[in-house]
Amino acid sequence: MNKRIITGFLACVLWLTVAAQENDREQSGRKFSSLLGLLELNYLDSVDLSVLTESAIKAMLKELDPHSVYIAQKDVEKTNEPLVGSYDGVGITYQIMRDTIRVISATPGGPSEEAGITGGDRIVCIDSENATGKTLDETFVRSRLRGKRGTEVAIGVLRFGHDSILTFKVTRDKIPIQTIVASYMLDENTGYIRLNRFSSQSAREFRAELKKLKEEGMENLVFDLRGNSGGYMNVAVDIASEFLEKGKTVVYTQGLHSPRQDYVSDGNGLCRHGRIILLLDEGSASASEIVSGAVQDNDRGLLMGRRSYGKGLVQKSYFLPDGSQVRITTARYYTPSGRCIQRPYGEGNENYFREYSRRLKHGELVHADSIRFPDSLKYYTASGRLVFGGGGIMPDLFMAVDSSLQSAYYGQLVRKAVITEYCVGFIDKQRSNLKKRFRDETAFIREFQVDDAMMEGLLRLADQREIARNDEQIAVSSLLIRTQVKASLARSLYGLNAFHRVLGELDPMLIRASEVIEDVDEYQRLTLGQ
């Protein structure tokens, strides 16, 4: 009898609670609608209710957490593009330089390549409209080159060695956005893959690259997630599963309205054996941290680099009636050991997004001992190694930011895009000769050298761009400048993979990873935390 009374009482409390919540929601809705009506009828000037509503939504979400956001209807497609993994357009990589659209490369197999457009072309008109000048910007280019699949656009280009404009009819098509920007063998046994985003296609891309590298002899892998800000959680689970035996926890999620859900590996991964090193830094976030946490907590591999961003919140997207979209945080995610690595955000969004500056100021990017985790956030991996939650994932082997080759002079070359401008001019004249001299990107990377004559040509261009010469700083950055020139030329000739291969030869973290992964004793010592 008492149980029936208690059950009835609880049901009554629940009903009253739900009723109160519904009443609060109705009152809030009426309150907001009343205010809009008052403004429309009484404000001294005309008001745009849609603008006011959007502003109110943004302010409302800002009160929740830094990652719940509103996306206006006009921005939905553009914002979701990196996650969808494709767009409709002509398929070129370009750069706007000195009021001109310079084609870096055409997407292999894409509509522009099939039409005949190639790297080095300068786009001067689109559908008979002038496409040069000081008003040229990204919005102009995107609005004219992108469009519905199957539609046609006429692109006029200037090409080195041709006196007149060449016009190409290009039929727009679906263009994939590759999220793996580099994939190659570091040596006979070790492969390297760099992923810049977790889009809907990333797991498929990753698996395809693993198969290719295994056919080339890969036994171990360096997986680069530096600067990878995340993406889809389910894709992170699929990629992490490539490293884990069946039944291992990858991540679990939980929230007030989201009961705990565990995600486990399926046991079909291609990298369940062999040594694994993951590279991460302060820009590695969200899905990158899911993969890193799964590898670390399951003692599957070694994490190298700097403390990750610290985003442990899960968002879901919902469309509003006008086609706009909100991404609402619905749960926290936890690594296999139980860590939630979300950074505190109670001091406001503005302070939250200044994290990089804070880390820089406190010396965290160069000194591992400047990082402090509270004892209350201690957790342990499967083998009993100590790890911490509450503020990103700390790698097993810290690597400081290396600025030994940096200088103020080099910084000006980058900011004024002088290296890029020099390489574009060089490629215009030497593309065919370079293609004849080097049969493929490997030959180019192995044999091509940026000589003193090229270096002097670059410095003369810098003089013209009003960058004062500083011989001391040039000497400090000489190797970096030459490597950047070689990488830019490699990209123009062979694509993004060649670009990263060249830069990798001067990458301290990648060089160290190559050493550690080949040294079995050191790898095991670091992985076990000894």
3-state secondary structure string across 11-29: HHHHHHHHHHHHHHHHHHH
Out of 220-224, 277-281, 355-359, 451-455, which region has the weakest mean confidence (pLDDT)? 355-359
Helix axes 452-464, 408-415, angle to 10 degrees: 70
d(CA 3, CA 212): 64
The pLDDT of residue 232: 95
d(CA 230, CA 266): 22
Q: pLDDT-based confidence at 15, cuts 50/70/90?
A: very low
Q: Which of 288, 311, 428, 477 is catalytic?
A: 311
370 is catalytic: no
Out of 92-106, 167-181, 203-217, 469-483, which region has the weakest mean confidence (pLDDT)? 92-106
The pLDDT of residue 227: 95
d(CA 376, CA 389): 9
Contact between residue 442 and residue 184 where contact means Cβ atoms under 8 Å apart: no
Q: Which of 297, 308, 324, 477 is catalytic?
A: 297
3-class secondary-structure state, position 123 = strand
396 is catalytic: no
Tokens (6 digits) for 279: 């590279």
Residue 20 has pLDDT above 60, yes or no: no
Buried b or exposed e, range 92-113, using 16+ CB within 10 angstroms? bbbebeeebbbbbbbbeebbbb
Residue 426 has pLDDT above 90, yes or no: yes
The pLDDT of residue 202: 96
d(CA 387, CA 384): 9
Q: pLDDT-based confidence at 472, cuts 50/70/90?
A: very high
Residue 50 has pLDDT above 70, yes or no: yes
Tokens (6 digits) for 322: 């006008």
Residue 309 has pLDDT above 50, yes or no: yes
Residue 75 has pLDDT above 60, yes or no: yes
The pLDDT of residue 528: 78
d(CA 402, CA 4): 69
How many other C-beta atoms are found inside a 10 Å radius of the C-beta of residue 300? 22
Tokens (6 digits) for 153: 């656009």
Q: pLDDT-based confidence at 2, cuts 50/70/90?
A: low
Tokens (6 digits) for 313: 């919140």
Q: Which of 286, 337, 407, 514 is catalytic?
A: 286
What Cα–Cα distance (Å) separates residue 98 from each residue in 78, 95, 107, 457, 516? 25, 10, 23, 18, 44
Buried b or exposed e, range 489-512, using 16+ CB within 10 angstroms? bbbbbbbbbbbbbbbbebbebbeb
311 is catalytic: yes
Higher pLDDT, 119 or 286: 286
3-class secondary-structure state, position 444 = helix
The pLDDT of residue 16: 44
